[in-house]
Every structure is written in structure tokens, then in C-alpha cells.
Structure 1
Amino acid sequence: MESESVMAEEEKDPETEIEEVLEETETLEDWQDRALRAQAEMQNMRKRLDSDVEERTRARTEALLTEVVTILDHFELALNAMPEGLEKDEESGPFAQGVRAIHLSLEMLLARFGVQSVNPKPEDVFDPTIHEAIQTLEKDGLESPQIEKIRTGYKMGNRILRPAQVNIIKPASSDEEPA
């Protein structure tokens, strides 16, 4: 019995053996290709996941820092409303100094996250990417348009957290008709 199977193997045609080897090689190559594709797909999925996590983290950080900016605004309003010399007053001085210290701490916190203020100057040209126009006014005696800061803007890197709010002041138009 054993000798019959040995003889059957010995009697195999060499061409048949070559075909079997080629088929097995094709099957092996097919499985290797599938494995490489699965590995590449896994790497792409991992990259997409990392990118999604990074984007969500950035968006949440920006949202939080925008809230901090709003709180900073309130402290700026409080500081601007304080009467001059209040910090030297014996009774109210410590309170005023505390408000100033909190304001400074918030500014330092924002700076640690790379947040910069956008403080337009009157001679700056209005830029809708960093400025938000609140109103347009006319003023006599101006040679060229100017902007007036209403509220500080903030940016983080090249992304605007909040545009600076400004009034656009244009030279007054002369509506007088020549006689």
C-alpha cells in the first residue's frame, strides 16, 4: 500500500508538478499582496485617526482660549473703569491690584498657548481677515481712511480666535455743489 503511493508520486508528470508549484506560488503571492494591502490600510487608518484626534484637540483648545479671551475682556473693562489712583488707596488698593494681577495672569496664560493680541493702530489698513467692522464714520480733516479699535482681537498662530472690532473712519465727503 505504501509502495503504491510512493510509486504514484514518482509517476507524476513534471509538467503537472510545475503547474502545481506555479499555482501555489500564485496563491502565496496573492496572500502576500492581501497582507501588504491590509497593513497599508491599517497605517492609513491610524494616520486618519491621529489627524482627527489632533484636529479635535486643536478645536477644543481654541474654544477654551476664546472663552478665556472673553474673561480677559471683562478684566480690561474693569481696569479701564477704575478711577486713577485707586491702586494707591489704602482701602481699595489691594482690590484694584488684585484685578490687575488676575488680568496679567490671564495674559500670561494666553501667551503660553501662543495666543497673540491683534491691536490695530489708526494708520493700519482695514483687513477683513483680522478686523471686524462695527460701523463706518466720516471725519473732517482726514486725508486717508483710518481705523479705530473698539475691542482687541486675538490669534493663535495663523488662526484668528476673534477678530479685532473696529470702526472705519473715512474722510468726510464734501456734498457741497459748486456755484
Structure 2
Amino acid sequence: MQNDNSKIKNDKKHENSEEQKDTKDKSKEEIVHLKQKIEELENQVKRTLADYRNLENRVRNERGEWMLKANKQLLLNILPVLDTLMLANKHSQSKDQGLNLSVQQFLDTLKGEGVIRIETLGKNFDPNLMEGVVTIEGEEGKVIEELRTGYTLYDKVLRPAQVAVGSAKQNKEEKKE
């Protein structure tokens, strides 16, 4: 009987050992599954955070573009006033210092807002910055006269300069034809 008891005990130990092994295997599988789930959730959080940052950047860029567009239109409406003041200053017989200071202050204010005058006189004609209105006798391809001042806004053309471009002298034979 003793032998039978010991056999039963051994069988129970063996069963317990197998149960423990099964439990350990299930626990390991569950741990692996939970680790995978954690990794998936971490990746999802990272993607969501990246999407949010991208959205913030897009909104910031769109807001900046909208402001630039609104400023551009306002500046385009103001530039003819500056043109008139500059013309009045140029043709003023009294060389009124007040008018000259007003024009300079106007230009300085625009410069502070990112508006820069396009330099044209004596430069090579650049169709990206200038609008050739007329050709006159002078050095080929050079700007001879500025008819309307052009401006850039943050390195983009706000209003192209209107210029007279030099063309080579035509000889008398070409004029007859």
C-alpha cells in the first residue's frame, strides 16, 4: 500500500508539475501578448502626437500665409499713395523738408514691415523683378529709366518695377527697312 501511496503522490506531483508548466507557458504567452499590446499603444500615441504637431504646424503656416496675403493687399493699396508723395517730392520747387521727411518715414515704415524697394537703374533687366514697359536708345538690356518703383515683400515680388529698357542703336540702313 505504501507503494501505491507513493505512486499516487508521484502522480500528483507530476500533475502539479504539468499544471505549473502549463500555467507558466500561459503566463509567458500572456506577457508576450501584453508587451505587444503596450508596443502597439506606444506607437499609436507617438503617431497621434506626430499628427497633432503636424496639425499645429499647418495651422501656424496657414495663419502666416493668411496674414501675409492680407498685408500684401493692404500694401498694394498703399503703394500708389507713396508713388504720389514721391512724385510730389521729386517735382517740389521748394524742396520742402517736411515732405522729404514724410516720404523717408513712409519708406522706413515699409522696410520695417519687410517691404524693400527694387533697385533698377543701371541694372540688367530682370523679368522676375521688372516689367519692361518701353525700350529706348541706350545700353542693350540695361534699365535706363524707372517709370514706377517696384517692391518686394519678404523676398517675394510685391509689385514689379516698371522700367524703360535700353536697346542698341539702330544703324541707318535698318531704319530705312
Q: TM-score range by the shorter chain?
A: 0.7 to 0.9
Q: Which residue does the alignment assign to 1:79?
A: 89
How far has the Cα of 1:76 moved from its partner? 2.0
Q: Which deviations, in whole Å up to 9, do the C-alpha atoms of 1:82-130 show, x marking residues without a partner?
A: 4x1385xxxxxxxxx6654543332221122232212422x32111121
Separation of aligned partners in 1, 2:142 and 2:23? 95
**SS class of match (1:65):** helix
**Which residues of structure 1 form unaligned runs of 5+?**
1-6, 88-96
Alpha-carbon distance between aligned partners in 1 of 2:139 and 2:64, rounded to the nearest angstrom: 48
**Structure with the bigger percentage of helix:** 2
CA contact (8 A) 1:120 1:149 kept: yes
CA RMSD of aligned residues (A): 2.7
**Maintained 8 Å contact 1:135/1:166:** yes
Q: In the aligned structure 2, how far is the partner of 1:40 from the partner of 1:161? A: 35
In structure 1, distance between residues paired with 2:169 and 2:71: 44
Q: Which amino acid in structure 1 is aligned with residue 135 of structure 2?
A: T
Q: 2:55 pairs with 42, 45, 54, which one? A: 45
SS at match of 2:135: strand
- Residue 127 of structure 1 aligns with an amino acid whose one-letter code is D
- List gaps (5 residues or longer) in structure 2: 1-15
Distance 1:33 1:44 in 2: 16
Instruction: Verify the 8 A CA contact 2:132 2:165 in the aligned structure 1.
Output: yes
Give the equivalent residue in structure 1 for 2:168: 171
- Report the secondary structure of 2:126's partner residue: coil
Please give the per-residue CA displacement for 1:49-77, whole angstroms capped at 9, x wherever unaligned: 22222222222223322322222012223
Q: Secondary structure at the match of 2:170?
A: coil
Q: Secondary structure at the match of 1:166?
A: strand
- State how far apart, in whole Å, the 2-side matches of 1:146 and 1:19 are: 80
TM-score by length of 2: 0.72
Equivalent residue runs for 1:1-179 within 5 Å:
13-82=23-92, 84-85=93-94, 87=96, 99-121=99-121, 123-137=122-136, 139=137, 142=138, 144-147=140-143, 148-176=145-173
1:120 to 1:55, Cα distance in 2 relative to 1, 3 A: same
Paired residue secondary structure (1:37): helix
TM-score with structure 1 length normalisation? 0.72
Question: What's the counterpart of residue 94 of structure 1?
Answer: none
Distance in 2 (CA, whole Å) between partners of 1:32 and 1:117 is: 53
Bigger CA radius of gyration: 2
Cα separation, 1, equivalents of 2:102 and 2:135: 34
Percent identity over paired residues: 25
Query: SS at the partner of 1:13?
Result: helix
**Residues 143 and 56 from structure 1, CA distance in 2 versus in 1: closer, same or farther, beyond 3 angstroms?**
closer
